Amino acid sequence: MRILPLYILMALLAGTSCVTQRKFDDLKKDYDDLHKQNTNCNKRSGQLQDSLDEAHRLMRIQNANISELNQDTAMMGTGGRKLNSLYKQVNDAYEKLLGKVKELESQNNLRSQELSSELLDAQKQLKEREADLEQRTKNLRQKDADLQDLTIKLNQMNADLLARQKRVQELESVLNQKDSVVKALKATISDALISFKDQGLSVNIKNGKVYVSMEDKLLFQSGKYTINANGKDALLKLAQVLNQKGDINIMVEGHTDNVPYKSNGSVIKDNLDLSVLRATEVSRILSTDGKIEARRIIAAGRGDTQPLEDNSTSEGRAKNRRTEIILTPKLSELFKMLGD
């Protein structure tokens, strides 16, 4: 009967708590062993009780016999001593039985206390593990939420990256197209002006632009800004090409060496004036005689600020005295993409 509440407690713990299976099995086995021992003890105690009852019965019989024997002590002295000895034996056996019953009860109580303590420890550990599991679950949920946020951000970054890659590819396509136009333009102009190659005319690509450079000896007399016939012929051939290329912007730049200009009362004050007038005159020939739209042409004078060669030699100064016609493909499509 003392074990029954512990069995009910174990059943409740097994149904409501998440004690590890191995621990629960060990506790149940111990309980079953103890329950078996308790059953044996109860059975043995019943047997002993029967023996004790029998002993009491015998004692009553013997006491009756003793009472009868006391009436004839002399005759029954020997029998009385035997009965006393038997009584003592029975009484000793009875005391031993009582001691054994008490010992078994003490052992049962001690084992029950041990089982109760183990169950309480297991329940405490279970609660601690449940709290730890709850905290870990909470942490995992938070990490899962963070991971989802990170995934969303990464997906957005990938989408942005793909969009940028697409835009870069579009820009590269436009730039490649522009480079192709520039190369084709250079080849066309070089072919058109090939007869002037040995007369101080060159065609080059620099910074994505086509530079048609004409030395003074091809266009002007020394210190003058009126274009000679040979130079005009070259400009008109160039104009024929540019009229077929309406998407080309034209910049005309005049350049001089660093030798100071002697005005001698002329309207030209210095090298800068001379470079501006020469650029203006070239622009006029291209627009009037060459029929190029004037709005496509810009004239500028650089004077001696951008020399190609060292002005300390006559060859270098001759290279520096030049007119450059800079041709640039219109980049409206590229600028629009960059603006977007």
- What is the CATH number for 229? 3.30.1330.60
- Reduced 3-state DSSP string for the chain: CCCHHHHHHHHHHHHHCCCCHHHHHHHHHHHHHHHHHHHHHHHHHHHHHHHHHHHHHHHHHHHHHHHHHHHCHHHHHHHHHHHHHHHHHHHHHHHHHHHHHHHHHHHHHHHHHHHHHHHHHHHHHHHHHHHHHHHHHHHHHHHHHHHHHHHHHHHHHHHHHHHHHHHHHHHHHHHHHHHHHHHHHHHHHHHHCHHHHHHCEEEEEECCEEEEEEEHHHHCCCCCCCCCHHHHHHHHHHHHHHHCCCCEEEEEEEECCCCCCCCCCCCCCCHHHHHHHHHHHHHHHHHHHCCCCHHHEEEEEEECCCCCCCCCCHHHHHHHCEEEEEEEECCHHHHHHHHC
Confidence of residue 332 (pLDDT cuts 50, 70, 90): low
Please tell me the predicted confidence (pLDDT) of residue 1: 46
Model-level pTM? 0.50
Do 203 and 332 lie in a common domain? yes
> Where a domain ends, among 80, 109, 144?
144
**Structural contact between residues 186 and 205, judged by C-beta atoms closer than 8 angstroms:** yes
The token pair that represents 295 in the structure block: 């709005």
**Domain membership flag for residue 252:** yes
In terms of residue numbers, what domain contains 119?
A: 4-144
Question: Is 177 within the bounds of a domain?
Answer: no
| Residue 232 lies inside a defined structural domain of this protein | yes
Averaged over 117-136, what is the pLDDT? 89
Residue-wise pLDDT for 216-245, tens only, equals 999 998 889 999 999 999 999 999 999 998
121, 198: one domain: no
| Domain identity same for 68 and 198 | no
Does 310 lie in the same domain as 215? yes
Show which of 144, 169, 185 is a domain's final residue.
144
Encode pLDDT of 161-191 as tens digits. 888 877 777 766 666 666 778 899 999 999 9
- 34 and 135 part of one domain: yes
- The average pLDDT across 105-109 equals 83
Residue finishing a domain among 144, 159, 177 = 144
**229 and 137 in a common domain:** no
Residue 59 lies in a domain: yes
Asked whether residue 104 is assigned to any structural domain, the reply reads yes
Same domain, 117 and 239: no
Task: Say if residue 275 is in the same domain as residue 334.
Answer: yes
How many domains are contained in the chain? Answer: 2
